[in-house]
Chains A and B, each alone.
Chain A
Amino acid sequence: MSGRLLVGVFKREGDVVRATNAARHEGLDIVDVYAPYAIHGLDRAMGLQHSRIPWVCFLLGLFGAVTMTAFQFWTSAVSWPINVGGKPWNSLPAFAPVIFEVMVLCAGVGTVAFFIWYAGLRPGLQSPMSDLRVTDDRFALVLRETGAFNRSAVEALFKRFHAVHIEERGDAA
């Protein structure tokens, strides 16, 4: 993937959503949108797929629950059975609280770790657009200049949606 990036900076949330939508309809290559908060509806404007993270979370939770069920059974009924008050060694109802807690622990910690890894977040990483105030109050739509990219038409599109600033950047993303 090569080509330079064209960045349009917007002041209002509505403008960036409409500009993104228009860019997608014109078949432009949307690299990303930078925003200070999660804008509702922008995922559809960008044409993003549903995230698969819930499946990761589910599988991690399942892993935690199954592992802990087996482990409790093994320690209490196989490895060293101890008679406590004449209760059965394999007392599944009494195992439920710990199964639940370990399920939540695996699912929660694992999901966040997966998210950080998958989103490419690393300590000490430079953020590419932070000089454009995109973590304060500006919204930046970043398009890639590919073969049939008509620069003046894209600038006109940005201007139509009240872009306050347009600039070209090297491919940092």
Chain B
Amino acid sequence: MHFVEDALAEAAVIAVPLIGGNKGPADVTRDVVGALDARPSPLWWGGLAVSVSALMLGSVAIAYQMAVGIGTWGLNRTVGWAFDITNFVFWIGIGHAGTLISAILFLLRQRWRTSVNRAAEAMTLFAVMCAGIFPVIHMGRPWMFFWMLPYPNARGPLWVNFSSPLVWDFFAISTYFTISAIFWYVGLIPDLATIRDREPRTRRSKIFGYLSLGWSGSFRTWHRYEVVYLLLAALGTPLVLSVHTIVSTDFATAVVPGWHTTIFPPYFVAGAIFSGMAMVLTLMLVARKTMRLEDYITQRHVDAMCSLVILTSGLVGLAYVTEFFIAYYSGNPYEQFAFYNRATGPLAWGYWIMVSCNVMIPQLFWFGAVRRNLVVVFIVAIFINVGMWFERFIIIVSSLERDFLPSAWASYRPTSIEIATFVGTLGLFFTLFLLFCRFVPVIAIAEIKGALRPAHGSHPAHDSYSGYSEDISPEPKSI
């Protein structure tokens, strides 16, 4: 018996700790809350200034196209979907990594997720907000967006068409946003209480105290809380897969060559997690540096995220090859032409940017030296973000530009209004993220404290898992 315990204790010591600096629970509270109290760095102010400027530019562009109409876009009769839908799919995809980290990795008991899940979930929320803007504008009369809801109305009642992927999309995106927001808030409640108790009588304490719903740390509540958290993770996991599956059916149920393929759902989900992981890496490397969280976001976290990038990059690469093979093997001339055109036609430059950014450059993460150089990791992550944006653009525009009838062929260029709208969503995303870093604990304090156990103080894990019900001996056992 003692051998087993000694071996377990030794293993706990040898394993590299997730959190650096041999910290106790009080240190975690101090570090995370301290990061909120510290004066923002010039880098933060600079970032905020740029982001808010971009947001203002986007707001002006959106106001303009709402007033004038979406004729301000570069669309034509052949290319009816382009920049707008590209950006929608791009942002939704980014959101998916947050849910992967918060729900799927929770179910898989990947404990490294505790350091990044709060920020990744926030990223999900902000990305879905950005995504939602595009279809709403695309409706042409955005003030009538509530017509998407199947409510009893004076028009018949005329119901929405439940067989349409666009209606599925509406339900998927709104459910996804609601569940992500709730998941994020539930995770936040204990941390809000920690800040409330730490500094009675400040204004922040009052607001957080209200939002913490009187959380007292009662274990009877913790016990139920854990169950609720697990249930939300179990619901979030199939949800995130369903959302991008449904997004992909927007294309896959159409007859356009290059869209009409059954590979789209898994291909889109893998691409979404790939692009989102790159965005998590981008944001975490910045947050780590500017918020001094080096002990919480360590090389182990970067390594784990790089591994996921390699995996999903491989999946995306496999999908690219499969699409070409199936086009060749189907014997369908339209399908064959669509892919031949993708790699050699007028948008070939975009296609090859996509392949090099998504399949070739991420292979650098196989090398430990690259993963340890965080500047290089950051640059690679940016390349992936660019590559994944191009993936959606190429899929959408290159397929539409060259459809069945050569007489209908056309080309597409975004207008300044469309570009300004996209820049505006980038501004919204980074503005919200920078504000989040200042006002909300970026690290899940309570979860980190739970993950400290092997390194900290006693050895309760052994007691709680090994028939302790007979054990009421007062003295701590070995070690």
Contacts and interface: CB of A to CB of B under 8 A. Distances in A.
B159 interface: yes
Contacts of A150: none
A104 B175 contact: yes
Size range of the chain A interface in the assembly: 35 or more
Nearest to A131: B197
A135 B213 contact: no
Given A79-B157, A137-B29, A127 B172 contact: no
Interface in B214-251: 214-228, 231-232, 235-236, 238-239, 242, 246, 249
A13 B453 contact: yes
Contact of A98 (B158, B162, B460): B162
B463 A32 contact: no
Contacts of A21: 468-469, 471-472
Interface string B419-463: 000000000000000000000000000110110010001111101
B178 A39 contact: no
B177 to A, nearest CB: 10
A127 B469 contact: no
B260 to A, nearest CB: 15
Contacts, number: 247
B71 interface: no
A79 B24 CA distance: 63
B171 A14 contact: no
A165 interface: no
A101 B217 contact: no
Interface in B154-172: 156-165, 167-168, 171-172
Nearest to A96: B168
A148 interface: no
Given A97-B172, A101-B242, A104-B238, A36 B232 contact: no
B474 interface: yes
B194 interface: yes
B142 interface: no
B159 A75 contact: yes
Nearest to B468: A21
Interface string A99-132: 0111011011101100110111111111111110
A160 B182 contact: no
Given A12-B458, A22-B472, A123-B213, A38 B226 contact: yes
B216 A40 contact: no
B354 to A, nearest CB: 28
A169 interface: no
Contacts of B98: none
A89 B213 CA distance: 47
B34 interface: no
B474 A161 contact: yes
A36 B216 contact: no
B228 A80 contact: no
A101 to B, nearest CB: 4
B123 to A, nearest CB: 19
A142 B335 CA distance: 71
A36 B227 contact: no
B175 A105 contact: yes
Contacts of B459: 14
B448 to A, nearest CB: 8
B142 to A, nearest CB: 22
Interface in A21-59: 21-22, 25, 32-46, 48, 51, 53-54, 57
B36 interface: no
Contacts of B226: 38
Given A14-B463, A57-B231, A75-B150, A135 B217 contact: yes
Contacts of A120: 214
B242 A42 contact: no
23 contacts: A13-B453, A17-B460, A18-B463, A36-B449, A41-B463, A42-B223, A43-B223, A45-B468, A76-B163, A98-B167, A100-B242, A101-B171, A108-B235, A115-B225, A121-B213, A121-B214, A121-B221, A125-B213, A126-B214, A135-B196, A136-B25, A137-B24, A137-B29
Given A38-B223, A53-B228, 13 more contacts: A14-B476, A36-B449, A38-B222, A39-B450, A42-B464, A79-B157, A82-B161, A108-B183, A121-B215, A125-B214, A127-B197, A127-B214, A135-B194
8 nearest CB pairs, A to B: A41-B464, A125-B214, A14-B458, A127-B216, A14-B460, A137-B25, A121-B213, A75-B159
